[in-house]
Structure 1
Amino acid sequence: MENVKIAKLIRNGETVLGMEFGSTRIKAVLIDAAGNPLASGSHGWENRLENQIWTYSLTDIKEGLQDCYAKLKQDVQEKYGETLKRVAAMGFSGMMHGYMAFDAQDQLLVPFRTWRNTMTEQAAKELSETFSFNIPQRWSVAHLYQAILNGESHVSQISFVTTLAGYIHWQLTGEKVVGVGEAAGMFPIDSNTNDYDAAMAAKFDTLLLEKGLNYHLTDIFPKVLAAGEKAGVLSETGAKLLDPAGDLEAGILLCPPEGDAGTGMTATNSVAVRTGNVSAGTSVFAMIVLEQALSKYYEEIDMVTTPDGKPVAMVHCNNCTSDLNAWVGLFGEALEAFGVKPDMDTLYGTLYRKALEGDADCGGLLAYNYFSGESITGFEEGRPLFVRRPDSKFNLANFMRVHLLTSLGALKAGMDILVKEEKVQIDKMLGHGGFFLTKGVGQRVMAAAMQTPVFVMETAGEGGAWGIALLAAYMIGKAEGQTLPDYLNTVIFHGEEGSVMQPDAADVEGFETFMKDYKAGLAIERAAVEQLR
């Protein structure tokens, strides 16, 4: 009977579609008005290194878009016996930042430069100093200015610069717009206006003029829209692009295209001030919604916004669980040598829980999880490292504990700037990612690191496609004057926050002691990088 009701919603065009272009997977999800996922589709893809540039081709993007939608459409047909022809609204999201530059004839001038490229060091440094605002290398304006500094011939032909999400939205609607959260990964945003910071834009225009370029930043960057605003409709051309079979009808409303940071905040219900979310897996990042701007800029802190324009401080670290995973793999290999074939979930759970038996300060053990460089602590390369004093308490519990704590070491160094120096107030953090899979362990360690309650939702994991679908649903479903946080709380999450773990005083004190060793021992890590080539 439930499927009959859903089939009617689909037939009547009362569902909402969201699609996100991640770095390895494109995912689409169809939801109802309450945010419940009804059907999904996905498409795997990989960036490629061409002429030392990490990129995806326009063909990759088009084929991925169409295949992902086709699989969603097939899922709808198989589950509900309906051909997907119309939806109430849709939204598109993508990995943030990067550089897609087009000429006046809408031709791509150079291959898409993704966020992964670290080729803009000079531009990022000069712009950060000019603006007194941290401009990371992956931001669109850093890519544009580096191309100008490099004297690349295409810069004089630029008519439009956008991101992956902005490009897809443009192709489907003809509208050159982005959501404010996505825009905040292109150029600094003024949260009072939900637009590019006018004073910084004027400074950038002066730099353009000095380089002999006669366009302005606002001429070539997309228009900025906030969550809840209408961002155009699916054109006839766009409908055929998305669904070459011709079943999809034009005229569908689209919400502003957003980046993966904004959709992640939405999907974890962490868009209200004094809340945040932390994603911990291979890499780790935390995003805190601020009550007010920071007093100054820090190289360790990226400033972005929520989809409705509130300032967000982001601490992003390249390394989290890779070294921890390698050690768990080694213990599994040791067991196999004794003829025991361990179940990996059981092995992880057992070793993670063992860490809770260790000393709060890890008994004087020290480790670094740097598989790659870590900008927070000033490393361009990394070397995984474990070291101990002769009198350290070397046992399995402390060994596992130190690898859990060091997974968050760089993150805590960045978070300490916000909490201790800027006195940022955090009421709660929502955790998601593989670090939290063993119930009560990663959550407890994170609570100690953040010194704030950490929530983990059983459903935290619907992902960015769901997040952008929720933003599309908000656009058409919000009550008069209803804010995004209120909509998510009342319509989607119904006040459910998941399981919570408060910071334990002994854990907090132990983490602080560990961090003293961690910071002092960075000289050991530096020596390892320099000597182990």
Structure 2
Amino acid sequence: MNDVKNAIQNGKTVLGIELGSTRIKAVLVGEDNVAIASGSHDWENSYVDNIWTYSIDEVWKGLQDSYQKMAAEVQQKHGVTLKKIGAIGFSAMMHGYMVFDKDEQLLVPFRTWRNNITEQASTELTKHFNYNIPQRWSIAHLYQSILNEEDHIHNIQFQTTLAGYVHWKLTGKKVLGVGEASGVFPIDLDTKSYNKKMIDQFDELIAPQNLSWKLEDILPEVLVAGENAGTLTEEGVKLLDVTGELEAGIPLCPPEGDAGTGMVATNSVAKRTGNVSAGTSAFAMVVMEKDLSKVHPEIDLVTTPSGNLVAMAHSNNCTSDLNAWVGLFEEFTQAIGFEVDKNKLFETLFEKALQGDADGGGLLSYGYLSGEHMTHFEEGRPLFTRSSESNFNLANFMRTHLYTSFGAMKIGMDILTKEEGVKLDEVLGHGGIFKTEGVAQSILAAAFNVPVSVMETAGEGGAWGIALLGSYMINKEENESLEDYLNGKVFAGQAVKTVSPDSNEVEGFEQFMERYKNGLAIERAAVDNLR
């Protein structure tokens, strides 16, 4: 305990904060990279004028709240007021659209990754670059704004992401980590920066608009893991710590996206490794040995925080509808006079799913709370349906909702493994859906037909992942790679639980997916006719 207290007092700690889609979490780690204290703040996106957004006030309120709760835990557990920190890192939901004018004012409300409103831009840029540009990428949002002839495009001085915005305000530095930047604009794997040829192609494309800026002028600088990305300013202290106890001058690592921090938190930054992050959205990331043979609109190409190629199969929807159904069961238990712990409720229902038929009993659901680009839906309608012959029971109901949570993502993964022949040794899972031991692991192993592992630190998530990147920046040895640092100084001796695929369940998931694909017409009818 004294070692931890000394580490806190002497600034030998690292703070990671991640702004996720439903929670902002702050994690402070010690010299052994183990969490000392944490704090979190729940928040939700708002749907305003047909745009999924978070207000800037909510950003700062949530950051300050999560920081204060973490600092209060430090005080409570260790009797120390947090003043010094060895390094800080910020992470957030990738992509989206944040543009600012010369007075550093946000020109339009923050447009998150969840908005499927850039189809024209996405299609045109993909064709123009011969490189997949998904709808949620920042460059697609920018180009769509230009195509829409929105007034604000003439006043743009700076474009960044949510993580880049927070980092900028706390340090004054307009930078992004390469993993985060790879969801803004395509990266040149040799230079570890934006693809210069495509930058020039974009400028030529928009030349008829006679805008006052060139793309390279408004984008943040790209940095790789381990580089110094500035220091916390006096102004930044006031934005983060409302008590003013924290000292300025703390170094910050490059801000990263939740995809990159997920790779770090699961030690999935080496080739032939993959990880699945499952929460409001779900994405599978595979570190590639070589390029894909052709452009696939379902597959994003991004990078690790070190700049290595990663193929990402991303779905906009994962657990939101599943969580809503669990909430309904909780409401029922309360209505009949029982108070059940929410974690126990999840555990009971998840474990029940393992008793279901391998194919889910003929049931079908789509947890499309929002649009789903993987299956080409601009809007979503959560939907559950069955035939009169389906085996409708609680086990199959829960199994079906777990299956469908990974359904859209599996379509992308099948392209990688079945069409492109990508080889995977194992997948590491992290996110709330994996908290009930073995259940979501078994489902995912069946979906991907590959062993799925969950580490004891899987619940730490992206805030821990960005803290590790901060730790790497200040503690790495000369020429020590991120892979070597994670293997030797973070995950050595880490307890890992692995579930191998069951052939019967693999076949059952394939049967479910046939039903899933065939039933998309039902979802289309719901989107088109239910307003």
In the superposition, the TM-score normalised over structure 2's length comes to 0.90
Deviations 1:70-113 (A, max 9, x none): 33333323332323222221112222222222233433333333
Unaligned runs of at least 5 residues, structure 1 = none
Q: Which residue of 1 aligns with 2:427?
A: 429
Q: Which residue of 2 aligns with 1:74?
A: 72
Q: Measured at CA, do residues 226 and 402 of structure 1 come closer, stay the same or move farther in structure 2, by a change above 3 Å?
A: same
Equivalence map 1:341-380=2 (5 Å): 348-380=346-378
Q: Which residue of 2 aligns with 1:387?
A: 386
Q: CA deviation at 1:469?
A: 1.0
CA distance in 2, matches of 1:134, 1:79: 48
Q: Which residue of 2 aligns with 1:239?
A: 237
Q: CA deviation at 1:371?
A: 4.4
Matched, 1:257 2:245: no
3-state DSSP of counterpart to 1:136: coil
Q: Measured at CA, do residues 517 and 177 of structure 1 come closer, stay the same or move farther in structure 2, by a change above 3 Å?
A: same
Q: Percent identity?
A: 61
Moved more, 205-214 or 357-366: 357-366
Q: Is the 8 A contact 1:208 1:214 kept in 2?
A: no
Structure 1 letter corresponding to 2:384:
L
Deviations 1:468-508 (A, max 9, x none): 11101000111222111221121111142511011122222
Q: Which residue of 2 aligns with 1:61?
A: 59
Q: Which residue of 2 aligns with 1:33?
A: 31
Equivalence map 1:36-51=2 (5 Å): 36-51=34-49
CA distance in 1, matches of 2:526, 2:49: 31
CA distance in 2, matches of 1:43, 1:349: 23
3-state DSSP of counterpart to 2:458: coil
Q: Which residue of 2 aligns with 1:21?
A: 19
Q: Is the 8 A contact 1:208 1:215 kept in 2?
A: no
Q: Measured at CA, do residues 49 and 361 of structure 1 come closer, stay the same or move farther in structure 2, by a change above 3 Å?
A: closer
Moved more, 338-347 or 218-227: 338-347
Q: Measured at CA, do residues 387 and 304 of structure 1 come closer, stay the same or move farther in structure 2, by a change above 3 Å?
A: same
Q: Which residue of 1 aligns with 2:265?
A: 267
Greater C-alpha radius of gyration? 1
CA distance in 1, matches of 2:381, 2:48: 25
Q: Which residue of 1 aligns with 2:165?
A: 167
Q: Measured at CA, do residues 113 and 282 of structure 1 come closer, stay the same or move farther in structure 2, by a change above 3 Å?
A: closer
Matched, 1:130 2:128: yes
3-state DSSP of counterpart to 2:504: helix
CA distance in 1, matches of 2:138, 2:281: 22
Q: Which residue of 2 aligns with 1:97?
A: 95
Equivalence map 1:186-201=2 (5 Å): 186-201=184-199
Structure 2 letter corresponding to 1:448:
A
Q: CA deviation at 1:329?
A: 6.5
Equivalence map 1:296-335=2 (5 Å): 296-324=294-322
Q: Measured at CA, do residues 228 and 22 of structure 1 come closer, stay the same or move farther in structure 2, by a change above 3 Å?
A: same
Deviations 1:258-303 (A, max 9, x none): 1122112212222222112213344422222222222222222222
Structure 2 letter corresponding to 1:94:
A
CA distance in 1, matches of 2:381, 2:97: 27
CA distance in 2, matches of 1:378, 1:81: 53
CA distance in 2, matches of 1:255, 1:147: 31
CA distance in 2, matches of 1:477, 1:428: 28
Return the match for 1:155 from 148, 153, 163.
Answer: 153
Matched, 1:462 2:460: yes
CA distance in 1, matches of 2:335, 2:68: 47
Q: CA deviation at 1:418?
A: 0.8
Q: Is the 8 A contact 2:116 2:371 kept in 1?
A: no
CA distance in 1, matches of 2:459, 2:428: 12
Return the match for 1:491 from 476, 489, 492.
Answer: 489
Q: Which residue of 2 aligns with 1:209?
A: 207
Q: Which residue of 2 aligns with 1:116?
A: 114
3-state DSSP of counterpart to 2:136: coil
3-state DSSP of counterpart to 2:427: strand
Structure 2 letter corresponding to 1:164:
L
Q: CA deviation at 1:447?
A: 0.5
Q: Measured at CA, do residues 9 and 210 of structure 1 come closer, stay the same or move farther in structure 2, by a change above 3 Å?
A: same
Q: Measured at CA, do residues 463 and 388 of structure 1 come closer, stay the same or move farther in structure 2, by a change above 3 Å?
A: same
Q: Is the 8 A contact 1:489 1:495 kept in 2?
A: no
Q: Is the 8 A contact 1:233 1:252 kept in 2?
A: yes
Return the match for 1:474 from 469, 472, 475.
Answer: 472
Q: Is the 8 A contact 1:455 1:497 kept in 2?
A: no
CA distance in 2, matches of 1:234, 1:312: 31
Q: Is the 8 A contact 2:157 2:218 kept in 1?
A: yes
CA distance in 2, matches of 1:145, 1:110: 14
Q: Which residue of 2 aligns with 1:293?
A: 291
3-state DSSP of counterpart to 1:462: helix
CA distance in 1, matches of 2:497, 2:428: 10
Q: Is the 8 A contact 2:88 2:470 kept in 1?
A: yes
Q: Which residue of 2 aligns with 1:248?
A: 246
Moved more, 426-435 or 240-249: 240-249
Structure 2 letter corresponding to 1:504:
D
Q: CA deviation at 1:222?
A: 0.5
Q: CA deviation at 1:182?
A: 0.9
Q: CA deviation at 1:194?
A: 1.1
CA distance in 2, matches of 1:492, 1:258: 19
3-state DSSP of counterpart to 1:313: strand
Deviations 1:149-205 (A, max 9, x none): 222333223222111211222222222111001101111112222111122111111
CA distance in 1, matches of 2:270, 2:48: 41
Structure 2 letter corresponding to 1:482:
E
CA distance in 2, matches of 1:239, 1:338: 49
Q: Which residue of 2 aligns with 1:523?
A: 521
CA distance in 1, matches of 2:180, 2:523: 35
CA distance in 2, matches of 1:197, 1:105: 29
Q: Measured at CA, do residues 117 and 342 of structure 1 come closer, stay the same or move farther in structure 2, by a change above 3 Å?
A: closer
Q: Is the 8 A contact 2:432 2:459 kept in 1?
A: no
Unaligned runs of at least 5 residues, structure 2 = none
Structure 2 letter corresponding to 1:70:
Q
Q: CA deviation at 1:346?
A: 5.5
Q: CA deviation at 1:424?
A: 1.1
Q: Measured at CA, do residues 156 and 131 of structure 1 come closer, stay the same or move farther in structure 2, by a change above 3 Å?
A: same
Return the match for 2:439 from 415, 438, 441.
Answer: 441
Q: Which residue of 1 aligns with 2:505?
A: 507
Structure 1 letter corresponding to 2:197:
A
